[in-house]
Amino acid sequence: MRRKRVVVLGATGSIGESALKVAHDIPERMEIVGLAANSNAKKLAAQANAVRPKAVCLVDESKIAELRGALEYEPRIFLGEQGLIDIACLDEAEMVLVAVVGTGGLRPALAAIEAGKDLAVASKEILVMAGEIVMREAGGKGVQILPVDSEHNAIFQCLDSQRERLTPNAQRPTPNAEVRRLILTASGGPFRNTPNEQFESITVEQALKHPTWNMGPKITIDSATLFNKGLEMIEAHWLFGVEMKRVEVVIHPQSIVHSMVEFTDGSVLAQLSHSDMCFPIQYAVTWPERVPNSLPPLDFGKVRQLEFATPRYEDFPALNLARRAGDEGGTLPAVLNASNEIAVAAFLAGEISFPQIWRTVEEVMNRHGSVAKPTLDAILRADQWARQGAANALQTH
């Protein structure tokens, strides 16, 4: 039994906080050797003082004095975007948990792969924008890409009984002949039963009231539009080597079943647990083993019902837009992701209506000439093009 040495990128966010809880819960199996944050110097220092990693990184260099003043010891300090790449390649690290919001985690993730580190992926953008590149590079380096999103971690666990033939990297057979469907569950967000004629009047406050999870504003709005589930469909396509047509979504309000796999013989395997990100984080860190922890077990006597329903595709176009982007591939998924970010920011600022989010994304996607098999630079150019295109589209409405 040996401890996994982990660097956490995005330490001060909800995923980072959960990662620190896991490390505290299973100290014999997980050691935090690096922590990185964007700008929250005070919180980063408090976390570092608690777990004493060998290195910390703060992307916002203007906060360095605040960080140094709050640290109670002298770790190695990395700064800026380059610092994020450098700490991802830390010699002492075996695994890098990427929980950076937005595109900022892409270059550090690829650098970590190049340095031979296993990757625990919690940032959707990494696989949505550059899934083909990430999985190819991981396969070439022989490193593992382990999903931390609860849905993909659930699928991975369902497939784990076939570990000899299904490993979580680009070496797996593609497409997998034994998998009929990957079924991602979605809470449905706060508007799963709201008539579409009321969508225009939805407020930011209403959209931020997620019924199950406590997340940041961007991903909470993505849950309300179902764009988060659309992005997860694209992620699943790359993670598990299954075509988009075999990746489906089902509404499951209780968020107890985190996802399912249907095999060609009609059998369906599901992974169930409480809605707590500590479960998938621990599994990614300790894989291929399972170890005891202090997380609460499911009490089936208190689970009164498990409901499932087909998504309202016409009312929530995000799912079909994501399927289109995943099917076409190339730079289109990056355009989908970037234009959605701009539209969500505009909605949060009170500048556009709720339905205008997906209308903006569709408009930008329709104008994009996708580049097949893009380089990383081509992906990042498409990302910037889409951000400007979405901003321009919003100004004209």
Per residue in 180-234, pLDDT (tens digit) is: 999 999 999 999 999 999 999 999 999 998 777 667 788 899 999 999 999 999 9
Say whether domain 4-143 belongs to CATH 3.40.50.720.
yes
Does 97 score more than 70 pLDDT? yes
What does R_g of the chain's alpha carbons equal in angstroms? 20
Say whether domain 329-397 belongs to CATH 1.10.1740.10.
yes
Percent of the chain with pLDDT strictly greater than 70: 95
Percent of the chain with pLDDT strictly greater than 90: 88
Please tell me the predicted confidence (pLDDT) of residue 369: 94
Report strand pairing: 257-263 vs 268-272: antiparallel
How many CB atoms within 10 Å of residue 285? 26
Q: Where are the domains of the chain?
A: 4-143, 156-275+297-325, 329-397
pLDDT bin (cut points 50, 70, 90) of residue 172 is very low
Interatomic CA distance for residues 271 and 370, integer angstroms: 36
Q: Tokens 């647990």: give the residue.
A: 273
Mean pLDDT, all residues of the chain: 93
As a whole number, mean pLDDT of residues 55-60 equals 98
pLDDT bin (cut points 50, 70, 90) of residue 171 is very low
As a whole number, mean pLDDT of residues 1-6 equals 88
Per residue in 275-311, pLDDT (tens digit) is: 899 999 999 999 999 999 999 999 999 988 999 999 9
Per residue in 142-168, pLDDT (tens digit) is: 999 999 999 999 999 999 866 544 455
As a whole number, mean pLDDT of residues 76-100 equals 97
SS3 state at 147 = strand
Instruction: Please state whether the predicted TM-score (pTM) of the whole model is above 0.95.
Output: no
How many CB atoms within 10 Å of residue 138? 22
